[in-house]
Amino acid sequence: MTKPTILTGLRANNDLHIGNYFGALLPIVNMARERAGDYTVNLFIPDLHSFTTPINHDELYGQSLHNARLFLAAGLPAAAEDIHMYRQSYVTAHSELTWILDCFTGFGEMSRMTQFKDKSSKLSEDRISVGLFNYPVLMAADILLYDAEYVPVGDDQSQHLEFTRDIAERMNSRFGELFTVPKSVKEQHQFFGKDQGLRIRNLIVPTQKMGKSDDEQRGVIYLSEDPAIAAKKIMGATTDSLAEINFDWERQPGVTNLLQILSLTSNMPQEEVNRQWIGKQQYGELKKAVATSVQSMLEDFQQRLQAIDEAAVLRKLEADEAKVALTAQATLLRAQKAVGLRR
């Protein structure tokens, strides 16, 4: 009996920061480790999605390989039989199915996508690509090609998952049972566990989450950053004038952010960290503890990343791409036959 499929991926055009690592990369790796065996886990590198907005194309190929190395350095078991890691563009069925789905997708549907509105509002009109507009259709193809029932989605992707369900049901209604309809957003949250709000904040502006595009780069710690420089950034983090350590996002976001970072980088439960620090008055001592923990975590991660053999990464990708392409091509052929492209 075929195992149900989980599909997930992480776009990594630029260097990831510790918020990406603890909020996305590590949860994906842990999910794959825990679910493999009972499920097929497809972890794809979304290189086609990577240039829906302007990028440096000279770096794209290398960034895709680096993306794979990041997952392995974070602990993804490369040899696991049920975990497949592949580059989206190396399985041509993604692009081919997207075109078929495009022709059954309404302009109005895409116009209502919140993420398109948000991202396009930050670009000049001549830099808003049709690819950005069309992004949800490619995402639907990513999911439907592998009969994936489970797709971990954040709030910003929920609308796209619902579109995937809509287009699958639309095609099935017209042409018969072509696609497996993925579970609803509610069911996804029940399966994976609803996001509990892990959002590492900017060190300088702790009311905002840490982001790669932050203007205030002193508040962002990248995975590739010199660990000593990262420690200095921690020492310069914004706190407050209350002179007492509490875990309170509303009144003390800077201090609370430091407590969260200490928990994550030391692999210590938040409750235990809080017991050690809540009620103390020396912010400087807390910063020193967090700085030491962050520096140690980065040194360890960078050593693991450096040890990843790129030739081995390529062998893993190419083997898995050949494997998943069989499933993708079978799904594509069903769709091609249904719409009259194949006998």
Q: How many helices (H) and strands (E) does the chain have?
A: 14, 4
DSSP 89: G
Beta-sheet pairing, 5-9 with 40-45: parallel
For residues 249 and 32, what is the distance between their CA atoms, to the nearest angstrom?
Answer: 31
316 is catalytic: no
Q: What's the CA gap between 109 and 14, in Å, rounded?
A: 30
Residue type, 28: I
Selecting among 119, 186, 280, 323, the annotated active-site residue is 119
The enclosing H or E element of 242 equals none
Active-site residue, from 122, 212, 287, 288: 212
Task: Please give the span between the terminal C-alpha atoms of the chain, in angstroms, as a whole number.
Answer: 28
- The three state secondary structure string of 58-84 is HHHHHHHHHHHHHHHHCCCCCCCCCEE
| CA distance linking residue 26 with residue 14, whole number of Å | 17
Q: Report how far residue 302's alpha carbon sits from residue 225's, in angstroms, rounded to the nearest whole number.
A: 9
- Residue 209 designated active-site: yes
Rounded Cα distance between 81 and 137, Å, is: 29
**From 209, 232, 287, 316, active-site residue:** 209
DSSP string for 111-132: HT-HHHHHHHTTS-GGG--HHH
280 in active site: no
b or e along 111-148 (b: 16 or more beta carbons within 10 Å of the residue's beta carbon)?
eebeebeebbeeeeeeebeeebbbbbbbbbbbbbbbbb
How far, in Å, CA of 240 to CA of 88, rounded? Answer: 45
Residues in Cβ contact with 286 at an 8 Å cutoff, skipping those fewer than 6 apart: 245, 255, 258, 259, 262, 277, 280
Known catalytic residues are: 119, 209, 212
